[in-house]
Amino acid sequence: MQTRIEVGILGATGMVGQHFIKFLQGHPWFDLKWLGASDRSAGKKYRDAMTWHLGVVPETVADLTVDDCKPGNAPRLLFSAMDASVATEIERAFAQAGHVVVSNSRNHRMEQDVPLLVPEINADHLKLVPGQQRARGWKGQIVTNPNCSTIVLTMGLAPMKQFGIRRLICTTLQAISGAGYPGVASMDIVGNVIPFIGGEEEKMQQETQKIMGEFRGDHIEPLAAKVSAHCNRVAVVDGHTVTVSVEFSSKPSEADLRHAIDSFTAVPQERALPSAPPRPVIYMEEANRPQPRKDAERERGMAAFVGRLRACPALDYKFIALGHNTVRGAAGAAVLNAELMHSEGMLD
């Protein structure tokens, strides 16, 4: 039996931090021992430092004393749920001090030497890390996971990458939990659609090209495809839905695409990583699936669900994809990234 690795969370009192705590309960490899937050929370018991929104506060963390988000007492492996307004300097300070920072924050995602990781798609992008450490003089490192809507899109596209993605247009129907707490005012979202989420379309377009790009020694060559995104907030609690139209260079048949989806597996499944779903992309035959309420929670929220694959009169094919935005799109994504890193010997 392997020794469990002590881990900590930066930004532990916020909604993403709470999702990290919930997801890490009972983890076979990682033992949550340290919680970091802002000055106003530091020194308090965790149960007194925040308002818990996910049921009952786990007893494993309720009486932990919250620390400052400063290097010193934290374990080497840290999951970052820091708000973007403060994440840059804090994450860099910990990496400089020798910590492995696996971040859900957007701040470092598009930096040339930082992996933007979806283990089923681009595990080889971890090869950027030694160059990152040399260039920045860091003993530690920063690895990021994508935006919550980008991960649903790229997981849905992953089995199809082999056919040469040339152009894609996607429209999101994003859950309110993606806006954090308190999020969107009820008078704005109930019975309504908000057709704007600040920065979201740009993130989806740029991150997709980086994630699905190729490792070229010291950088990632972005996917050459043109990506157009429309992002909308809808009155759904959990689960981001994305409708996608895509054009391919090799003109596969519908049967080719279905076979690619149904047979898709990758490094996390081959290595049986603890948080990896047995099938990362699951095709649903029903004409009215996937649906957030029925499907987002399945497979512990770690799989992507695809349906309605059919010919597209404007491009080649169109389909719908769904994923759990706070699990596969946030906390679960970062934990799976750390599991992959451990399997590569990067946490030794």
First and final C-alpha spacing in the chain = 16
In angstroms, rounded to a whole number, what is the distance separating the alpha carbons of residues 5 and 76?
Answer: 9
Question: Which secondary structure element, helix H or strand E, spans residue 205, and what is its range?
Answer: helix 200-211
Question: Which residues are registered as beta bridge partners of 228?
Answer: 169
* Dist CA 7 CA 28 (whole Å): 12
Could you tell me the pTM of the whole model?
0.97
- For 133-158, give one letter per residue: b (16+ CB within 10 A) or e: beebebebbbbbbbbbbbbbbbbbbb
Sole residue written with tokens 């429309």: 230
What are the structure tokens assigned to 281, written together? 């992309």
Q: Which residue among the candidates 69, 148, 170, 231 is catalytic per the annotation? A: 148
DSSP annotation of 28 reads S
Residues of the chain predicted below pLDDT 50: 1
φ, ψ for residue 34, nearest 5 deg: -145, 140
pLDDT tens figures, 252-293: 999 999 999 999 999 999 999 999 999 999 999 999 999 999
Catalytic site residue 53?
Answer: no
Choosing from 19, 99, 240, 324, the catalytic residue is 240
* Phi, psi torsion values for 285, nearest 5 degrees: -75, -30
**Catalytic residue list contains 240:** yes
> In whole angstroms, what is the distance from residue 266 CA to residue 143 CA?
19
**For residue range 72-102, what is the model confidence (pLDDT) as tens digits?**
999 999 999 999 999 999 999 999 999 999 9
